Amino acid sequence: MLGMKKGMSNKEVADLLEMVAAAFEIKDEDFFRVRAYKNAAASIEHLSSQLKDVWDADKLEEIPGVGPSLAQHLDELIRTGRVKHFEQEVKGLPLGMFELMKLEGVGAKTAYKLASEFDLKDEKTAIDKLRKQVLAGKIKKLQGFGEKTEDELLKAIGSVQSGSDRLLLPEVEAIAEEVVEYLRSSGLCEKIEVLGSFRRRVATVGDIDLAVMTDKPTELMEYLLKFKGIKKVLSTGSKTTMFIHSSGRQVDVKTQSKDRWGSMLQHYTGSKLHNIHLRKLALEKKMSLSEHGIKKGGKLFKYAGENEFYEALGLKYIPPELREDSGEIEASIKGRLPDLVELKDIKGDLHMHTNIEIETSHDMGASSVSELLNMAESLGYEYIGLSDHNPKMKGLSEVARIKVVKKRNEAIDKEIASSESSVKIFKGMEVDIRPDGRLAVSDEVLGLLDYAVVSIHASFRQSKEEATERVLRAFDHPRVKIFGHPTGRMLNKREGLDYDWERVFEECRRKRIAVEINSSPERLDLPDMLVRQAVKTGVLLVINTDAHEASSMKGMRYGVGVARRGWAEASNIINTWPYKRVEKWIES
C-alpha cells in the first residue's frame, strides 16, 4: 500500500520519503525535520548510482542529507522492503491524499483536509470522488476554503495527467520561440533568455522558463496576458507570470532589470540543488543570495553579469551544464573545473545515412552523398563517415550482401571523384547487434569497410547480464570502431538496456572502440551520467548526429550538450581530432 517493495528505484525511495515528509507536515512536525526528509528525497532522486549499490558499499551516510537516522531507515527498507517507523507515521492517514497532492496548487495540508473530509481512502478513486464533491459545491463550505479555491480545484482536476511526459529539446525550442517572438513584439524587452533545465541542456525538460530583461515589468506582464497562445493563467505578478501554453505546456516568465540580470541568470538556471548548495555556502560567508543579488549586512549588492556573481562568492564561473550539485561547486572552489568540449571543436560526424539503395535492415537516408558533403562543408567539418544500415538479413544471400556492399563502395567512390569538396569520407556501416551478440553481417563484409558502428535496434528486454554478454561479443569483430546509441533508449518511450558499464567501458577502452553520444534529441544516448563515468574511465567518445537527412547534421549541438553535462573535454571526443588522427585510429 505504501509502494514499499523489494528492488525499489531511487525515484520510488524518494517518493516514499516525500510521503513521510507530507505525513509530518500534516502533524505540524518540526518544519526542519520535514525539510530534512525532503532534502534526503531530492538527494536520493538525483543520485548518480543505485541506492542499493551505495548500501552494498556501506556508504548510505555519505549521501548528502542522509544521517544516522535516515540511514538506519533506508537500511531497513533495503533489507526488508519496509520501514516500521514510516508505516507508523503514515498509518491512519487517508491514502487518497497522496493522489490529491498531484493536483496543481494542492500540497500536503490541503490534500489532507480534503481527503479526510470526504473520506478518500483509495488512491485510485480519490480524484474522481473529489470531482463529484466539487461539482456538488461542497468545497466552499469547508473551513478555510472559498469559491475561488473550488474553481481552481475543478480546473486542476481537469488538467491532471494531460501531458505528463517531459519535453524534448526541439519541442522546447519551438514553444519558446513562439512566446519569445510575442514578448519581443511588445518593444519592452531588452533581452530574453530560455533558462531552467533547457539552459542546462538536460535531456528532457519539464517546463519552459523564460527570463526577460526590462525596465517596465508591470507593462510587460500586462502585455503578456494578452498573448493568444495562453490557455490558462496559473499566477501573475510584475515579477513572475506562469501560464499553460496552448500546447498544454507550462511556461514561467520572470522579469528582471539590467543591473540585476546576472543574479537572475544564476537563480533561474538552477538547478534547485545547485542553488541551495550555493546559498548555503554563501551563508557561511554571511551572504544571502537571491535572483536580486547578494545581501551582505542588510545591503544588497547587484550583479549585471553571471560571471561577477560567481566571482563574488570566490568561485570560478560554472558552465550551466554542470550545475547539478554533483561536485561542480567543490571543483570550482579548487579551480578544477573541466575545460568542456564546445561545438566549435567538432571536426566531423561519423554516423549518418545516405540514400544509396542497399536494401537496408532499417530506414535509409533521404540525402545524397553530395548533399551530405555540402552540409559538412557548411558546418566547417574536415570529414564525415557514411554509416548506412547493414543490408537486411532476410532474402539476401551472403554473396548478394557482399556484392551490394561493393556496389555501395563504388557509388561512394564515384561521388568522391566527382566532388569538389575538401571534406574527406570514411566508408562505414551501422551494423545490428543481434540478440545473441552476433553481428548482422559477416567478418568478410566488415572487411570491405573502413569502420563499423555496432548498435542495437531490437530485443530490449534482456537482463543486465545478458545485455552485457551481448555487446561484449559484438565488439569482438574486425573493423568495429564505434558502439552506437549504447542503451537504445527512446526518451519518454523506451527505457533502453542496462549493462555492467564497468566491463563495457573497460572493453571499449582496451579495444579503442569509441562509445557514441548520439545527438538525436529523442535518444541523447549515451546518457549524461554515463558519459561522466566513461570520461573517468578514459574511454574514447564520439559525438554523432545519426542524420537521416542532411539538415539533421545541424543537431550536433544536442550531443555536445550531453557531452558537456558528462564533464567531457575535447580530448575525450575523437571527432574533435583532425582528419589524419582519426584516419590512423580507424586503421588501427
Partner DNA sequence: GCCGTTTTCGGCCCGACTGTTTTCAGTCG
Tell me which residues touch ligand DGT (CB under 6 A): 196-197, 202, 205-207, 209, 268, 270-272, 275-276
Whole-angstrom Cα distance, residue 29 to residue 10?
25
> In this structure, are residues 199 and 158 in contact, taking their beta carbons and an 8 Å threshold?
no
**Interface with Zn ion includes 546 (CB under 5 A)?**
yes
What is the DSSP code (8-state) at residue 254? E
Query: Which residues are CB-neighbours of 399 under 8 A, at least 6 positions away?
Result: none
Q: Which of 16, 71, 471, 563 is close enough to bind DNA by CB under 7 A?
A: 71
Site for Zn ion contains 306 (CB under 5 A): no
H or E element that contains 517: strand 514-518
| Residue tagged 498544454 (cell numbers) | 248
Q: Say whether residue 430 binds Zn ion (CB under 5 A).
A: yes
What single-letter DSSP state applies at residue 336? -
Q: For Mg ion, which residue of 209, 306, 388, 450 counts as binding (CB under 5 A)?
A: 209
Kindly tell me which of 207 and 546 has the beta carbon lying closer to Zn ion: 546
In the complex, least distance from residue 418 CB atom to DNA, rounded to whole angstroms: 54
- Which of residues 149 and 419 has its CB atom nearest to DNA in the complex? 149
Residue 20 or 445 having the CB closest to DNA: 20
Q: Of the candidates 62, 67, 50, which has an alpha carbon nearest to the alpha carbon of residue 13?
A: 50
> Which residue's entry shows cell 589524419?
580
> What is the smallest separation between the CB atom of 147 and DNA, expressed in angstroms?
6
- Given the complex with ligand DGT, which of 208 and 582 has the nearer CB atom? 208
- For 242, other C-beta atoms within 10 Å of its C-beta total 17
Residue type for 97, please?
M
**Residue 267 CB, nearest distance to DNA (Å)?**
8
Q: Which residues pair with 525 in a beta bridge?
A: 518
Q: State which residue, 253 or 480, has the beta carbon closest to DNA.
A: 253
Nearest to 471 by CA among 429, 524, 518, 434: 434
For ligand DGT, the closer CB: 45 or 430? 45
Strand segments, DSSP code E, in 169-226 are 191-194, 204-205, 208-213
Site string for Mg ion, 252-271 (x = CB under 5 A): x-------------------
Residue 174 beta carbon to DNA: minimum distance, rounded to whole angstroms = 20
* CB-closest chain residue to ligand DGT: 270
Among 10, 16, 19, 37, binds DNA (CB under 7 A): 37
Determine the size of the site formed for DNA (CB under 7 A): 64
- Looking at the Cβ atoms of 280 and 512, the one nearer to DNA is 280
Short-list 507, 517, 515, 423, CA closest to 469? 507
Least gap, CB of 168 to DNA (angstroms): 19
- Choose which of 94, 196, 293, 496 interacts with Mg ion (CB under 5 A): 196
Q: Report the alpha-carbon angle 360-361-366, nearest 5.
A: 50
Residues 190/258, Cβ–Cβ less than 8 Å: yes
Nearer to Mg ion among residue 273 and residue 534 (C-beta): 273
**Residue 565 is which amino acid?**
R
Contacts of 365 (CB under 8 A, 6+ apart): 352, 353, 354, 355, 372, 388, 547, 548, 549
Residue 280 near DNA by CB under 7 A = yes
Does the protein bind DNA through residue 170 (CB under 7 A)?
no
List the single partner that 271 binds among DNA, Zn ion, ligand DGT, none, CB under 5 to 8 Å by kind: ligand DGT
Cα(256)–Cα(292) distance, integer angstroms: 8
- Pick from 530, 537, 576: nearest CA to 556: 576
Identify the helix (H) or strand (E) that includes residue 289.
strand 287-290
| Pick 93 or 183: Cβ nearer ligand DGT | 183
Of 66, 120, 405, 563, which lies in the binding site for DNA, with binding defined by CB under 7 A?
A: 66
What is the binding site for DNA (CB under 7 A)?
25, 30, 32-33, 35-37, 39-40, 61, 64-71, 101, 103-111, 140, 143-149, 152, 196, 207, 209, 235-242, 250, 252, 272, 275-276, 279-280, 282-284, 288-292, 295
What is the binding site for Mg ion (CB under 5 A)?
196-197, 206-207, 209, 252
